[in-house]
């Protein structure tokens, strides 16, 4: 469970990375960033599906009471689920969903945060278990729970394109 971005090796030899990786051990991460403050709302789920996505949408509306939220989304199938339509209709005064064109994740502000997170907590670091990795994720996200310059700057990379 390591992301190797750079590694020392003897000249002319291919480095070998030994790692034990458990199959089918995964979590889905949901997140959104408010560009003006850099604050991130994030959650984990055992599986990415309509129910877990809806739970995340409720979490976001609770994080911004009395405000309308514009959420930028990719085109994962459960973002477009028919079961979600009546719920979104009921919450349309609180939330608007903006779907990106296919194959354009670089336009989604939260992708900059995920990139930065991988750089900080997975690149050239070995963690033995998924639980360990999730603890690192929780620590990383905790730093984005207050207004911060890093989050603002990451969001600006997208807003100013």
Could you tell me the domains of the chain?
A: 28-153 (3.30.420.10)
122 SS3 class: coil
Q: What band does 161 get if pLDDT is binned at 50, 70 and 90?
A: very low
E strand spans, the chain: 28-33, 40-45, 69-73, 95-99
Exposure string for 20-53, b = 16+ CB within 10 A, e = fewer: eeeeeeeebbbbbbbeeebbbbbbeeeebebebb
In 8-70, which ranges are continuous DSSP H helix? 50-63
Task: Give per-residue pLDDT as tens, 100-140.
Answer: 998 888 889 899 899 999 888 888 788 888 899 899 999 99
Q: How far apart are CA 20 and CA 104, in angstroms?
A: 32
pTM of the model: 0.79
Among residues 32, 57, 42, the alpha carbon closest in space to that of 110 is found at 32
Convert the pLDDT of each residue in 4-13 to its tens digit.
566 677 788 8
């Amino acid at each position: 469970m390591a992301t190797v971005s750079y590694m020392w090796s003897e000249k002319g030899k291919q480095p070998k990375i030994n790692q034990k990786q458990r199959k089918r051990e995964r979590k889905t991460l949901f997140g959104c960033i408010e560009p003006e403050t850099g604050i991130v709302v994030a959650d984990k789920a055992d599986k990415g599906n309509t129910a877990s996505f809806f739970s995340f949408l409720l979490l976001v509306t609770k994080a911004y009471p009395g405000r309308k939220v514009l959420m930028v989304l990719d085109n994962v199938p459960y973002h477009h689920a028919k079961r979600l339509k009546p719920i979104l209709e009921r919450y349309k005064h609180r939330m608007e969903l903006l779907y990106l064109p296919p194959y354009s994740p670089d336009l989604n502000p939260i992708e900059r945060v995920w990139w930065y997170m991988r750089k900080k907590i997975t690149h050239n670091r070995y963690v033995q278990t998924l639980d360990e990795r999730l603890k690192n994720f929780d620590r990383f996200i905790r730093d984005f729970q207050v207004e911060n310059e890093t989050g603002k700057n990451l969001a600006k990379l997208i807003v100013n394109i």
